[in-house]
Amino acid sequence: MEEPTKIQSKLISKFSEFLDEEAILSDADELRPYECDGLSAYRKTPLLVVLPCTIEAVQKIMAICMRFGIPVVARGAGTGLSGGALPHEQGIILSLARFDKIIDINADHFTARVQPGVRNLSISTAASSYGLYYAPDPSSQIACSIGGNVAENSGGVHCLKYGLTLHNVMEITLVTAKGELLTVGSPALDTPGYDLLSLMTGSEGMLAIIVEVLVKLLPQADEKQLIMVSFDKIETASHAVSAIISSGIIPAGLEMMDRLAIQAAESFAHAGYPTDVDAILLCELDGSKEDVSEQIEIVQRILTKGGAVDIRIAKTAEEQAKLWQGRKSAFPAVGRISPDYYCMDGTIPRHQLAHVLESMNQLSKQYDLPIANVFHAGDGNLHPLILYDANKGELEKAEKLGADILSLCIEVGGTITGEHGVGHEKLDQMCIQFSTQEIQQFHAIKSSFDPHELLNPGKAIPTLHRCAEFGAMHVHHGKLPHSDIPRF
């Protein structure tokens, strides 16, 4: 294998034929910001970072990398939380940051055609003058890019009613590992052939490079009401979530925060949260004025019967925005009360919320690490924030606690990720969730699109050797660490 400096020089020479000097980053100081994504515990330095601004340039980059066998890691805004954009030390980072244009908003067809570097929130901002918006809204929507959202199949506060990214994307234009241009999906309601649109959404940059996206827009609701509900026990709040959904009402958003998350968010955002309760729910109802008015009454009855200690309906749009700001600020807010935190992402059946939250509380005590819980309660997508201090050598302990939480999610019938992806972080847990035959099938799909494994190698799908080693260490007689937990 050639020396990294020689490979770097050769690539710079090739890329300079069609990229400007400022679009090729090679100095150590220039590469440092790309060493990690939002999961900053793991860092690697790539050979180069390239920042093309045309589809043709992306095609040329891929063709060159294919010719020389250079790994390519596509990167959007770098807000991912599973190490999905962690560089390959013998590869390049292909940044889509310069693909930042909204190409077209078609108000008649309720669609927006955008480049992958467009920020999530920018789509709704641009569509608002037409009375439209883009529904998926991750907490990082002010910064995260739509290409990254597609790659991770991101959700957000309103995915309970309006779906994940998968349910709001109609067409994707891709550049393959060979540099070929491919379009999957269509502006129509359905397309013939295999559903490659669903396959690509959530594929974590392992199958192709996203260069254009057609998203679905929705009309803004006539009426929105937001209820903040306080509980003196987190178990009571968990049961209230199931009771609301069981009534036949699907809120636009149904979010939960526990005491530690509430206190951190209130100190940071001053949203008006009570800090002396064990849990709050934020329940947003939208639709026609008549429907929302009827649903508010039903939900209030359910919550009162379910043990709520306080129910507050936001009186103005400004108050609603403030309450949501507190929720969406929870992650950075927790960062102010701990030197480090480790954000997990698992999904469980709703009826298991109370049990799993109590089990996590026991795990927190066992590992002597606090956990702040802030999550999408309506669809069971948990985001436990494990507080630790890396300077005290607590990272490994935090990782083990996170791994136990994910194993717990699997055992109660859930999954190891809801929207953050597998990336680098959850490879071992893939070995628990999926069988050898299933993992082999994942590799076969990967190989059909990327036979030389140049696109984001080493992410999302573990090798069978890794699973064998992990199983020998952690799985005994077919039982997981929490095999005593009942499944339903």
In this structure, the answer to whether residues 409 and 346 fall within a common structural domain is yes
Percentage above 70 pLDDT, the chain: 96
pLDDT tens-digit profile of 85-125?
999 999 999 999 999 999 999 999 999 999 999 999 999 99
Residue burial 249-284, b: 16+ Cβ < 10 Å; e: rest: bebbbbbbbbbbbbbbbbebbebebeeebbbbbbbb
Would you put residue 163 in left (φ > 0), alpha (ψ -120 to 50) or beta? Answer: left
Q: What does the pLDDT read at residue 31?
A: 97
Q: What are the E-state strand segments in 244-293?
A: 253-258, 279-287
How many other CB atoms are there within 10 angstroms of residue 156's CB atom?
Answer: 24
**Average pLDDT of the residues in 151-165:** 96
Model confidence at 461: pLDDT above 90: yes
Looking at this protein, which amino acid is placed at residue 375?
F
The pLDDT value given to residue 192: 87
pLDDT over 90 at 265, yes or no: yes
Whether 484 maps to a domain, the answer reads: no
pLDDT of residue 484: 44
Residues 407 and 426 both lie in one domain: yes
The secondary structure of 129-142 as a DSSP string is GGTEE-----TTTT
Verify that 346 and 470 share a domain, yes or no.
yes
Q: Are 336 and 267 in contact (CB under 8 A)?
A: yes
pLDDT above 90 for 475:
no
- Domain span at 73: 4-95
How does pLDDT run across 331-380, given as a tens digit for each residue? 999 999 999 999 999 999 999 999 999 999 999 999 999 999 999 999 99
One domain, residues 356 and 402: yes
Q: What is the pLDDT of residue 478?
A: 41
Asked whether residue 153 is domain-assigned, the answer is: yes
- Which of 95, 121, 145 lies at the terminal end of a domain, its last residue? 95
Question: 344-368 burial, b if ≥16 CB within 10 A, otherwise e?
Answer: bbbbbbbbbbbbbbebbeebbeebe
CA distance 241 to 382: 13
The closest alpha carbon to 341, from 319, 303, 372, belongs to 372
Report the CATH number at residue 47.
Answer: 3.30.43.10
SS3 assignment, position 394: coil
User: Is residue 66 located within the same domain as residue 107?
Assistant: no
Question: pLDDT at position 267, please?
Answer: 97
Please answer whether residues 202 and 152 qualify as being in contact, where contact means their C-beta atoms are separated by less than 8 angstroms.
Answer: yes
Query: Mind listing the pLDDT tens digit for each residue in 389-401?
Result: 999 999 999 999 9
- Is residue 481 in a domain? no
